[in-house]
Amino acid sequence: MPLFRTLIAAAVFATASSLTMPVLHAKDAAAPAVAGPVAGTRITEAYARLVARDAYFWAWPMTNIYNRRLAFKDLPEPGLMGGIVPIAPINRLSMLTDYIDPAERLVACPNQDVVYGAGSIALDLEPVVLQVPDFGDRFWVY
């Protein structure tokens, strides 16, 4: 949890900093640098809450995916975590081949109409090709 709080604090700082820093383009390179906010400017509690909410909104998914990437990077091959839910090493995919087990507790509302699978894609490591079977007129989401 301390890493998560540190990342949230960093995201809040980065978001707040980006809101107060001027954007300089090549044509503005000679423009004088702004020393900081206008003297006497105060950040209200409501504004700070909005900045924190936006930072959390963007930082949580990135933190979640990064933690999954770290957790799954050393897996030897695709398989099932706890014998129930699919997991796979980076840039690999694991799929269930049967109905989801009633003992499963990681998916909030599991159902038997969903084909479950998992995989983390890291395009910074290598290119990845996803091949999708022809489902005809059935609805599907990847």
pLDDT tens figures, 21-71: 445 555 555 667 777 778 888 889 999 999 999 999 999 999 998 998 898
pLDDT of residue 18: 47
More confident residue, 134 or 124: 124
Token pair of 76 as six digits: 């030897």
Query: Which residue in the block uniquely carries the two structure tokens 């409501």?
Result: 46
Q: Which amino acid is at 138?
A: R
Count of C-beta atoms within a 10 Å radius of residue 99: 13
Count of C-beta atoms within a 10 Å radius of residue 118: 19
Token pair of 92 as six digits: 């690999």
Q: Classify 27 as helix, strand or coil.
A: helix
What is the C-alpha to C-alpha distance for residues 74 and 120, in angstroms, rounded to an integer?
12
Q: Which of left, alpha, beta for 104 (phi over 0: left; psi -120 to 50: alpha)? A: beta
- Is pTM beyond 0.75 here? no
Domain boundaries, the chain: 2-72, 75-142
Contacts of 30 (CB under 8 A, 6+ apart): none
